[in-house]
Amino acid sequence: MRRLIVVLTVTALIWAGGLVLFIGSLPRPSSAAPGLADGVAVYTGGGGVRISTAMAIFADGAGERLLISGVHPDTSAARLSDFWVGPKERYDCCVDLGREALTTEGNAGELRNWAAAHNFTSIILVTSDYHMPRAMAVTRARMPGATITPYPTASGYLDDKGRPASFNAGLKLAGEYTKFLLARVKALFPGNGR
């Protein structure tokens, strides 16, 4: 019993130390334009900030097409066009809505299929700062030959010093860190959904 307590205590300390490192290494959003890529993809969530950011950089010419992955079945293209800031013709021709994904793994699968259909090998990936490490790990596992460039948006979970903005934000970050660890472990094994 004592050995079990020691193992659990050491495991908890390692997890807590990893969480601190995880939070400290989260990417900071940038207002700078990303480089060019074949396509731009956004994993939905974050109250519309992710989508509006992806649309803005796409409207500025960051890629040939934009994939919005994980769109709710009840959300229409017309509703999403409220976020659009570019020429209507570019939205109508080149913004694709992915409606199959329900998870980050689903997003990555949807992106892989979309990229393959368009022969894209370089993607700018837009998602929230706290979600980006897991999104990149899962996406790179599904698309090992592609160049994936992260473009994070602000989640509001971090304060100006890069620390959790509140207790609830800390809980959210802790949950995301655990999911990130699981995604990294899953990516180590063949047959992980590629």
Whether 5 has a pLDDT exceeding 90, the answer reads no
State phi, psi for 82 to the nearest 5 degrees.
-60, -25
Whether 75 has a pLDDT exceeding 90, the answer reads no
Residue 53 banded pLDDT, cuts 50, 70, 90: very high
Given a contact cutoff of 8 angstroms between Cβ atoms, the answer to whether 34 and 57 are in contact is yes
Give the pLDDT score at 157.
93
Give the pLDDT score at 108.
96
> What is the rounded CA–CA span in Å between residue 67 and residue 107?
10
Question: What H or E segment, with its residue span, contains residue 97?
Answer: strand 95-98
Give the pLDDT score at 9.
84
pLDDT mean across residues, the chain = 90
> What is the rounded CA–CA span in Å between residue 136 and residue 104?
10
Question: What H or E segment, with its residue span, contains residue 152?
Answer: strand 147-153
> What is the rounded CA–CA span in Å between residue 153 and residue 72?
20
> What is the rounded CA–CA span in Å between residue 144 and residue 95?
24
Torsional class of 84: left (φ above 0), alpha (ψ -120 to 50), beta (otherwise): beta
Which of 48, 94, 37, 105 is closest to 71 using CA atoms?
48
What residues does 97 pair with on adjacent strands?
68
Give the pLDDT score at 31.
81
Q: Which amino acid is at 135?
A: A
pLDDT in tens, 24-41: 889 999 888 888 999 999
Q: Where are the domains of the chain?
A: 2-187
Given a contact cutoff of 8 angstroms between Cβ atoms, the answer to whether 91 and 40 are in contact is no
pLDDT in tens, 79-129: 888 888 888 889 999 999 999 999 999 999 999 999 999 999 999 999 999
Q: Give the Cβ contact number of residue 33 at 10 Å.
A: 12
Give the pLDDT score at 80.
86
Whether 188 has a pLDDT exceeding 90, the answer reads no
pLDDT-wise least confident of 84-88, 154-158, 166-170:
84-88
Give the pLDDT score at 4.
80
Average pLDDT over residues 133-159: 94
pTM as predicted: 0.88
Domain covering 2-187 in this structure, CATH number: 3.40.50.620
